[in-house]
Amino acid sequence: MEYLEFEGKTTEEAIENACAHFALPAEHLEIEILSVGSPGIFGLGGKKARVRAVPRQEAEPDLLALAQETLEQMLTQMGETARVTASLDGDRLNLTVAAEDAGLLIGKQGQTLEALQYLVTKIISKKTRKKVRLVIDIESYRVRHHQALTNLALKYGEKAKKSGKPVTLNPMNPHDRRLVHLALQGDKELKTMSRGEGFYKKIIVYPVKKKEPQEEDAGLG
C-alpha cells in the first residue's frame, strides 16, 4: 500500500485525519511529517500541517496464533507427533516444527514441507481475507538446504569456468533457483539463466567469455 497525504490545522489534527481514514490508531501507522504548518499573521497566510501515512506492515499476534493452530491441527490429522513454535519477523509469520519423523514431513527435496507451507498459507489467507507471508521450517531444514544449494552453485560455477562450457543443474522450484542465482550473481566470470516451462526449471551456468586483448599496431620507426 502506498503512502497517502493528510492535512490539518496542526500536525496532531493531520495525524487524527490519517487515523480516521485508515480506522487505525496512530501506533499502527507509519507516519512522516511533511510540514508542521503555521498560523500566519492575524490568521492570514497560514499554512496547513501535512503528513504522509500508511498502515504498518506487521502481522497481528492473533494471526500468528491462528497459523500455529492450523499447522498443529494439520499435523495431528496426519498422525504426526510434532511441536510447533511460532514467532514474528516484521510481517512474516515463522512456524518452526520439531518432529519425531522430520524426514517424512520434509519430503524429497523439501516437497512435503513446501506443500504444508502452501496449504497453511492458503487456509489463513482465506479465513482472514489478508495476504499472508508465512515460512515453515522443520529441524532447521531451510538453513541447511540454503547452505547446500549455495555450495552446489559455487561448485558448478567453478566447473563452468574451468571447462569453459555451460553447466546445467537439475530442475528446481522458484525459491531454490533464486538461491542459486544469488549465490553466483557476484561472480563476473559467470552468468546464470533459467530454462524450461512450468514450476520446475533448470538453471544453466555460463562462463563469460573474456575479450581478447587487441594487438597493438607495430611502429614503423
Distance CA 129, CA 148 (A): 36
Domain contains 200: yes
Indicate the pLDDT class of residue 84, thresholds 50, 70 and 90.
Answer: very high
Residue 212 has pLDDT above 60, yes or no: no
The predicted structure's pLDDT at residue 18: 92
Banded pLDDT at 7 (limits 50, 70, 90)? very high
Is residue 180 assigned to a domain? yes
| Residue that terminates a domain, selected from 87, 119, 139 | 139
Tell me the CATH number at 151.
3.30.1370.50
Question: Is there a domain that residue 150 lies in?
Answer: yes
Counted domains in the chain: 3
Could you tell me the residue range of the domain that residue 11 belongs to?
4-55
Whether residue 95 is found in the same domain as residue 70: yes
**Is the same domain home to 66 and 50?**
no
- Statement to judge: residues 72 and 128 lie in one domain: yes
Residues 169 and 100 in one domain: no
Residue 152 amino acid letter: L
Confidence tier at 119 by pLDDT (50, 70, 90): very high
Question: Of 10, 6, 61, whose CA–CA distance to 29 is shortest?
Answer: 6
> Rounded mean pLDDT of the chain?
86
pLDDT at position 131, please? 83
Residue 216 placed within a domain: no
Same domain, 150 and 201: yes
Place of cell 530454462: 195
How much is the pLDDT for 57? 67
My answer on whether 38 and 71 are in the same domain is no
Indicate if 105 and 80 belong to the same structural domain: yes
pLDDT score of 52: 92
Residue 220 maps to a domain: no
Are 38 and 75 part of one and the same domain?
Answer: no
Same domain, 128 and 189: no
pLDDT in tens, 41-63: 555 556 888 999 988 766 555 88
Output the pLDDT for position 26: 86
Let me know whether 65 and 42 are in one domain.
no
If asked whether residues 102 and 132 sit together in one domain, one would say: yes
Cβ-count burial of 165 within 10 angstroms (0-12 exposed, 13-18 middle, 19+ buried)?
A: exposed
Q: Which residues pair with 49 in a beta bridge?
A: 8
Alpha carbon distance 7, 26 (integer Å): 15
Task: Judge if 94 and 113 occupy the same domain.
Answer: yes
- Whole-model pTM: value is 0.57
Domain harbouring 122, CATH code = 3.30.300.20
> Domain end: 116, 139, 162, which one?
139
Q: What's the mean pLDDT in 26-46?
A: 74
